[in-house]
Each structure stands twice: as structure tokens, then as C-alpha cells.
Amino acid sequence: MRIAIVGMVLLVVGAIAAITGVLPGSELAGLAARVVPILAFVVAVTIVAELAAEAGLFRVLAHRLAALARGRAIVLWLFVLVLAVASTIFLSLDTTAVLLTPIVVSLAAHARISPIPFALTTVWIANTGSLLLPVSNLTNLLAAEHLDLHPLQFAALTAAPAAAAIVVTAAIVFLTRPRQLLARFEPEQAERPDDPVLFWVAAATVVSLVPALVSGVEVWIPASIAAAVLLVAFAIRRPAVLRPGLVPLPLVLFASGLFVSVEALHAANVTDVLAVVAGTGSSPLDLLRLAGVGAASANAINNLPAYLALEPFAADPIRLIALLIGVNAGAIITPWGSLATLLWHSRLTSMGVEISWPRFMLLGLLAAPLTVTAATFALAWSAT
């Protein structure tokens, strides 16, 4: 609810800018044409993820993986890592934060091992693992639209930094929690889906959606079709699940407010000062400078407005990917660095898992520079 209120305040600020002429109507219309399809995708994929979770898809998958781990926490953690990467890449970082977090915490609780390494893996991978595809992060969708890139062309640019970010993140989690990850546990019996029909409809829908998201079709179209299929299935088999809360209205209001307010700042030339700190050029150090500015900005004000503010100063595709590295993989220090982190913490507290923010931020201060540096140099290497 607080996110929705912030979004409404930002929309009011943007409306005042439009009424007073600070934000011209033509620029506002151009902004709407750019972001409405993106927000439509966010709504649709959130509905898909929520209904797939209601059908038991993620829970059953997690329990199957726990059974395959055969009592070894390290194997279970590797499975969680793979699941977090796949969820983030194909269904977005917010989906991972919202839906995977309670699953991995429940798995850890049933196995009687610490949930902290699994929870930390989930939130870090949700951010650092969100570089590969446009659908992985809202910032990526904006960048892909800005560059007019097919998803596979986008992935070709981001593959090396995405791999580097994931590997470094995983290494840091393991090296900071080796005793907990090398423990043993007693596997619990795998759960069966409550409604096999809904389970298989959800499974088929998600499996079909994944290739559609990289087909080159505007992503809001297959996501909307998938959402419609699941809405019909639940309307027939479990209508009580269908509620207004399935629509992520607070997130839409928050994102819309950020879009409009940052566009107003651009129109007023307030963000021009960032050109000095962002620098120019595409040498490894130039890219690292831009990524570092992006990471610092994301942790200061949130990754979405940080990207929007710095986008005009990332003039070519390689610099734009460097900016994404900073605002995506670097946004793991402050709780407000990304919306995914706030959603993750909300799920943890609802399950009784306490996280020390000072300790979280100290770990982030270790992980963010290492991850951003590794990903940026991987980008520079792949671009040569």
C-alpha cells in the first residue's frame, strides 16, 4: 500500500508538470506509447505467476528438487539456485522475490536447516540474475525497447555479463555460508498438487510462455494470452482464487509515477548534471564508471528511476548494457535498491524469518562491487 501511495504522489507531481507545461504533451504521449505495453506485460506475467503458484506448480517443483537432493544441503541449494535463475530470467525478478521466497524458506524449515542462505540466494539472484532477457527486469524492457532489439539480440549482448554476475553471486553466497550449505538434512515426502487439472494447465501454460517471450513478438501479447488461459481455468475449477489482488496495482502505480516524474525531470533538464558523472566512451574503465554510477544511483533512489535518469547518457548498446549491470546487479545494498528486495523482505517477515538490515547491507557492500565489476569486464571482453 505504501508503494501505491508513493506512486500516486509521483503521478500527481507528473500531472502538475504536464499542466504547467514543464512536461510537454507530446513527450507525455511518447512516454505512454513506450511504457503502457511494458506495464501490460508486468500485469499479465504477475497474474500468470500468481495463478501458477496457486496451482501448486512452484511448490511441487521445489519438493521434487528437495527429494533429488537426497539429504545434501549443498545439492538442494544448487537446485534452488537454478530455480531462482530460471524464474528470474523468464518470469522476472519480482516473480522470484514474491513466489520463490516462501517456497525456499518452507523447504529449509522442513529440512531443519537455516533458511538464510536460501533466502539470500533468492533475493541476490533476483537482482543479479536479471540481465539476460528483456522480460527479466523492467529496466531491461525499457532498454530493449529503446534499442529496438529482438530478445535474442538482447541476450547476445548480455549473455557474458549475465553469466558472470550469476557465478560471482553464487560464489559469494557459498563462501559466506559454507557450514550451513554443507549440512545434511532429512528429505520430506514430496507433495502432490491439490488439483491435478489446474496443475497441468499451469505447467503447460508456463512451458509454452517461455519460448513465446523470446520469439520477438511484443512480450505483453503472449503474457496476456497465458494470463487469460489461466484465468479461464481458475474461473471454471477454483473461482474463489480470482480476486482483485491478483492485479499488481501498487506496482503499476509506483512504476507509472516513476516514469512520469523522471520524464518531467528530463524535460526540465534537471538530470543533465548526471552526464558529467556518467562519462563517455566504451573502454572497460569507462563502462565500469557508468555501471558504478548506475549501482550507486540505484541504491540511493531505486533502480528504476536510476535507469531512467541515466539512460540518455548511455548512447550506444554496450554502454546501455553497462548501465543495466549497475542498476540491476548493483542494486543489492540498500533495502530500497529494487522493488524485488522490498517484496522479498515482506514475504520473509510474513513467514517469521528475521533479516538484519545492517548485516544485509554489509554483505551487499561486499557482493555488489564484485558482481558489477565482474559483469562489466565480461561485457567489455565480449564486446571486443
Each of the 384 residues of the chain gets a pLDDT tens digit; together they read: 566 687 788 778 778 877 877 777 787 788 788 778 878 887 888 888 889 888 988 778 777 777 787 888 899 899 899 989 998 998 889 888 877 887 888 777 767 788 889 999 999 999 999 999 998 998 998 899 888 888 999 999 999 999 999 999 999 999 998 888 888 877 666 667 888 999 999 999 988 988 888 777 888 899 899 999 999 999 999 999 998 888 888 878 877 887 787 778 777 776 677 778 888 889 999 999 999 999 999 998 888 888 988 998 898 999 999 999 999 999 999 988 888 888 788 778 767 788 889 999 999 999 999 999 999 999 999 988
Look at residue 1 in the predicted model and tell me its pLDDT: 54
What count of other Cβ atoms lies within 10 Å of the Cβ of residue 102? 20
Contact yes or no for 341/122 (Cβ under 8 A): no
Look at residue 283 in the predicted model and tell me its pLDDT: 94
Look at residue 350 in the predicted model and tell me its pLDDT: 67
Look at residue 184 in the predicted model and tell me its pLDDT: 83
C-alpha cell at 35: 511504457
Look at residue 270 in the predicted model and tell me its pLDDT: 67
Contacts of 196 (CB under 8 A, 6+ apart): none
Give just the sign of the alpha carbon dihedral 290, 292, 295, 297. negative
CA-to-CA dists, residue 79 to 44, 120, 141, angstroms: 27, 14, 27
Look at residue 95 in the predicted model and tell me its pLDDT: 81
CA-to-CA dists, residue 98 to 122, 196, 345, 375, angstroms: 10, 23, 9, 25
Q: Structure pTM?
A: 0.82
Q: Where are the chain's structural domains?
A: 31-383
- Listed residue (103, 111, 125) closest to 173, CA to CA: 125
Contact yes or no for 80/88 (Cβ under 8 A): no
C-alpha–C-alpha distance, residues 182 and 101, integer Å: 21
**Distance, C-alpha 49 to centroid of its chain:** 13
DSSP string, 218-266: -THHHHHHHHHHHHHHHHHH-GGG--GGGS-HHHHHHHHHHHHHHHHHH
Look at residue 188 in the predicted model and tell me its pLDDT: 64
DSSP string, 308-327: HHHGGG--SHHHHHHHHIII
